[in-house]
Amino acid sequence: MSNQQVTLTQFIIEQQRGLPDASGTFTLLLNNIVTACKQISHRVNCGALIGVLGSAESENVQGEVQKKLDIITNDIMVKALDWSGSLGGMASEEINDPIKIPKQYPKGKYLVLFDPLDGSSNIDINMTVGTIFSILRCREGIEPETEDFLRRGTEQVCAGFVLYGPSTMLVLTTGNGVNGFTLDQDVGEFILTHCNMKIPEESSEFAINMSNQRFWEPPVKRYIDECVAGEDGPRGKNFNMRWVASLVAEVYRILNRGGVFLYPHDLRDPSKPGKLRLMYEANPMAFIIEQAGGLCTTGRERILDLKPNSIHQRVPLILGSKNEVERIIAYHQQD
Ligand code: AFP
């Protein structure tokens, strides 16, 4: 590791110095999240060698079949965080109710909400997956109830994700821009490699699951039809398409080269306003995307402004390059 490289530890400590009333609790919490993600990275990288692939033959609160790694990674996150004295409680995609801090541990002033393994349907085919987390402040000295978690995305103090891809990367914001860190596997440290990430405002790349096309609402149909029409259509230029089926991979691509991601409201199941979950997928990604100069919307409302009504609430999610998302919003307004 050359001496001009900035480690995540140094980066966080230097940020903490900028906060006169910082107690170091947040720094410890973030360090514990990162330690958990390094452990998850190892398990993901070992894959079939340690028998962690395949189905766990169980369902999560979402009614989705859990992969073995969904459960393993959830347990890694909980065990890495519950003892730290920095948390009042946690919420996980894999667990129905808020996770209480065991009585033998002190409670703290933060709440963490996470998807321990986003994109897990990709794990058995060795495609990129990730961990997404969101950090809120918590009223101290209380046993947090569900209501304490249901805070708007604008109240997040931190959001990040770790991408388990060809390299393991951490993308992080605390409200002062977005920075990317690459895990140096030899040293076991995340190194600052992508300073102040900014999303290009223009783009010619969209990401959507086209197999749901017959269920889309008119504004989304119109936007995608125009992209597909390319230079022969109203956009007058050709577009490219990607669909990794892993939100973390799509967002990281968009942070690097722009683009737009859509998992819109579809008419398949009217009881489900979307597929992605607000509290531990849409909100943290919206914080990151906006901090990088992009936009994040349901098509009709800014994601970060939504008042949550349940921890596992689903929402339509459209995010990415400012000019493209503004166009999609305009199409919804004209609908
Ligand atoms: P899984 O974690 O169940 O694989 O879902 C991943 C995800 O929530 C998100 O990461 C993807 O963008 C989206 O679902 C993919 O959904 P489809 O499988 O319907 O394309």
- pLDDT attached to residue 3: 53
Ligand 1 cavity residues, CB under 6 Å: 64, 118-121, 209, 245-247, 263, 275-276
Residue written as token pair 């503004």: 326
Whether the per-residue pLDDT at 82 is higher than 80: the answer is yes
Q: Which of 114, 212, 276 to mutate to test the pocket of ligand 1 (most atoms within 8 A of CB)?
A: 276
pLDDT band at 50 (very low <50, low <70, confident <90, very high): confident
Model pLDDT, residue 197: 98
Distance 245 CA to ligand 1 centre (A): 5
Does the structure show a pLDDT above 90 at 49?
Answer: no
Q: Is the pLDDT of residue 232 over 50?
A: yes
pLDDT in the model for residue 1: 44
> pLDDT at position 52, please?
77
Cα of 119 from ligand 1 centre, angstroms:
5
Residue 55 clears pLDDT 70, i.e. is over it: yes
Q: Look at residue 191 and tell me whether its pLDDT is greater than 70.
A: yes
At residue 315 the predicted structure's pLDDT band, cuts being 50, 70 and 90, is: very high
Higher pLDDT, 244 or 139: 244
What is the rounded average pLDDT of the residues 167-171?
98
Average pLDDT of the segment spanning 177-183: 98
**Spacing, Cα 248 to ligand 1 middle (Å):** 10
Q: Comparing 1-15, 83-97, 152-166, 297-311, which segment has the lowest mean pLDDT?
A: 1-15
CA 117/CA 127 separation, integer angstroms:
12
CA distances from 274 to 88, 155, 269, 314, 316 (A): 29, 22, 9, 5, 4
Q: Average pLDDT in the 300-327 region? A: 98
> Predicted confidence band at 64 (pLDDT cuts at 50, 70, 90)?
confident
Task: Using the mean position of ligand 1's atoms as its centre, give its distance from the Cα of residue 181 in Å.
Answer: 24
The pLDDT-based confidence of 141 (bands split at 50, 70, 90) is confident
Atom of ligand 1 nearest to the CA of 122: 4
Residue nearest to atom 12 of ligand 1 (CA): 247
Q: Name the 3-class secondary structure at 232.
A: helix
Q: What is the mean pLDDT of residues 243-267?
A: 97
pLDDT band at 161 (very low <50, low <70, confident <90, very high): very high
**Whose CA is closest to atom 2 on ligand 1?**
119
Across the chain, mean pLDDT equals 94
Residue 2 has pLDDT above 70, yes or no: no
124 or 287: whose pLDDT is higher? 287
